[in-house]
């Protein structure tokens, strides 16, 4: 393992129960990264997805891919604690096999394009289990400044009138 959960938490803002990567196995700056997600029956979502037939939700597989790619990008950014990466689009998402407790997801993310001045990045990802493709997608994200670009809090409906 190249980097463990302690090193990941120094870069990513995510925390339990939404930190969905456990380690980094390979990394090539600005180009490629391989993350690991150990899928455990203790994950809270397995209580309801699905009772008696636990399957990791596809959206969480995509989120694991995004966090892996986010790690690659954020570690290169000065003052990263003041930045967030937002999803802009998810294209060509395909799910090829269920991911179940006991599986280890290998999350391979490749940078397709990076527009540093605009803060946009496009990544292609593949999630595999024992070499078998579980999911793939192309993700696009935008880096935003945490303090100036946070969306305003929702206004309660009765005050909006």
Taking a C-beta distance cutoff of 8 angstroms, is the pair 21, 71 a contact? Answer: yes
- The closest of 61, 57, 70, 56 to 27, measured between CA atoms, is 70
Q: Is 49 a catalytic residue?
A: yes
Binning the chain into helix, strand and coil, the percentages to the nearest 5 are: 20, 40, 40
**Left if phi > 0, otherwise alpha if psi is -120 to 50, otherwise beta: which for 102?**
left
Token pair of 21 as six digits: 């990567």
3-state secondary structure (DSSP) of residue 98? coil
- Catalytic residue, candidates 32, 49, 124, 142: 49
Catalytic residues: 49
């Amino acid at each position: 393992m190249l980097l463990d959960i302690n090193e990941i938490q120094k870069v990513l803002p995510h925390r339990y129960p939404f930190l969905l990567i456990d380690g980094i196995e390979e990394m090539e700056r600005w180009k490629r990264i391989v993350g690991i997600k150990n899928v455990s029956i203790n994950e809270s979502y397995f209580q309801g997805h699905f009772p008696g037939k636990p399957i990791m939700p596809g959206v969480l597989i995509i989120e694991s891919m995004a966090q892996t790619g986010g790690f690659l990008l954020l570690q290169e950014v000065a003052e990263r604690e003041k930045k967030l990466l937002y999803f802009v689009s998810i294209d060509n998402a395909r799910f090829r096999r269920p991911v179940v407790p006991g599986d280890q997801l290998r999350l391979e993310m490749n940078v397709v394009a990076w527009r540093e001045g605009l803060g946009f990045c496009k990544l292609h990802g593949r999630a595999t289990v024992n070499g078998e493709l579980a999911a793939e997608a192309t993700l696009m994200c935008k880096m935003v400044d945490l303090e100036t670009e946070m969306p305003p809090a929702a206004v309660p409906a009765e005050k909006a009138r």
